[in-house]
Structure 1
């Protein structure tokens, strides 16, 4: 039995989310017929890859990731194209790995970071700090401690009887805290959580939780900081379970064909708010974020988040400068 147990407490919210997710997974399994699974697999792989890389600063759009999946060449920074190819290959290989196997973890990192860092597939040999702007917000454990810390964490994962939904969140947080690699820790944490969940229920291979995390990126980092401050990963567990639950709800509500796809936003479910935003922009192409906020009774931050998603899906486009430019709506929405 493992000697190390990561520190975490189980709140009522965590237990409630575990129950709700389990219920929704059952509905999703019944709903998603094989034809729909095949159709959504490519879409969700695109959203997973784009979301996870965007958290790390990639500027590639959903259309560009789709083009790469189709084997097409795109015009983009070479490093970002390499990151996308690597991520696609890594998620494609997910099924052959076991979550508690250290060799598999290192092999996944080697594939994820191929051509991007010299020590791909190896634990870091130097100290590392997590920065927020110019401020160090987390000083990771010394490099010489990393192999032992990761061995203990993997042993805990192998023998733990904690529910996989919770165990996957705990592992994700602990990997971020240890920061075992010189680069790619965020990508690997999200990848390995997906792997752990997929071993519990294979439907998680087709649920783009990473895309949901990207939409709430600030809260993702906040949950990590809160967990570190409290020496308890409960805040991160709560956050990630909420993202998983929201991603499943979105998958449950994604229609086979909503008439707005045309290869641009296939798999993207437009919320009622999205439709109102598009309607207002269509009627007034010079409308501002503040005006949208006032019209819809939503915060500017909420409007900005939905605008960002609609832009990445290719449904709307900003032409010109922020103050003097205007909106262009895709023809399929007019």
Structure 2
């Protein structure tokens, strides 16, 4: 490996990597358990509050596209993007509609794109910028700068250096043993520094970081990090600028990891709407536990809500049983997993 991007691993970065890894691991287990129950209707009753997994993914994809395009000045709302996805007519500037259609097409290719393949990056750019610029799918032939509002915060390297710089960056990505959370952030920063395309660099950099992360854990295909970046757009540009000034992408890495951690944390209820309450109950039930112990383990306070939303569905589904079934109101009553419940937990990673 010849090229080594300059970056420092700080304690802040390490702590965020650990926190994200823990959160995404917990989220993966819950989602796997829920998916198993959805595939086996006899295991658990349907709940009107649980949305179809595909609907959730589409919703998050729309949030992702809205956030990424909004950073670049696109004014269309999530509702308008949804309408375009559904083939409905939207009254909006034609260029902005085209940007949305292109982004939807590019993200449809998400599962087939390989983050270490440079040709896939060029193909994704061709789809993303089709009909918007003449050089869609090709590296730029002129000079460009990074703008924050009306201010130029970075002048990119000359166009004749772009092919070699990108080859070096992809060579590093293929060979690095850095954690994917760090490697994806480094790639994102280096990509924005090179600014290899005439236009579309911001949305391509964010797309490629998500792609690298999704190859590490597929959950990232459904987590709309771009939405939170849009809400913190000034900090995004500031982190890019600070990293350039220091010749060290650590500030940008720390910023992106904070965005990822905040998104994973804040999106958890939405991403896991298919995780029904009785599945969450399974994830905390160890041995025999009282009603109070279960409530505390779930972080719940309202007894009636716990009984109706969590305990009764689990009992009715045959996932949990009482230790004293003849005296359901006994003060010594405890609850434990049934054989069916243990099978679900064992098959999908435990609680």
TM-score under structure 2 normalisation?
0.71
Matches within 5 A, 1:165-180: 165-180=181-196
Secondary structure in 2 aligned to 1:136?
strand
**Counterparts of 1:108 and 1:197, CA distance in 2:** 17
Tell me if the contact between 2:148 and 2:237 (Cα under 8 Å) persists in the aligned partners: no
| 1:60 CA drift (Å) | 0.3
Is 1:232 matched up with 2:248? yes
Secondary structure in 2 aligned to 1:138?
strand
**Counterparts of 2:121 and 2:103, CA distance in 1:** 14
Deviations 1:156-215 (A, max 9, x none): 000100000000000000000000000000000000001000000011000000101111
Is 1:123 matched up with 2:153? no
1:13 aligned residue: 12
2:197 aligned residue: 181
Instruction: Point out the structure with max Rg over C-alpha.
Output: 2
Alpha carbons of 1:132 and 1:209: their partners in 2 closer, same or farther (altered >3 Å)? closer
Between the two structures, name the one with larger relative contact order (CA 8 Å, sep ≥ 6).
Answer: 2
| 1:134 CA drift (Å) | 4.2
Is 1:52 matched up with 2:51? no
**Structure 1 vs Structure 2 CA RMSD:** 1.3
- Equivalent residue in structure 1 for 2:223, among 183, 207, 223: 207
Matches within 5 A, 1:72-83: 72-83=88-99
1:27 aligned residue: 26
2:273 aligned residue: 256
- Equivalent residue in structure 1 for 2:237, among 196, 216, 221: 221
Tell me if the contact between 2:17 and 2:181 (Cα under 8 Å) persists in the aligned partners: yes
Tell me if the contact between 1:31 and 1:252 (Cα under 8 Å) persists in the aligned partners: no
TM-score under structure 1 normalisation?
0.75
**Number of aligned residues:** 256
Secondary structure in 1 aligned to 2:15?
helix
Is 1:158 matched up with 2:174? yes
- Equivalent residue in structure 2 for 1:93, among 109, 113, 126: 109
Unaligned 5+ runs, structure 1:
258-334
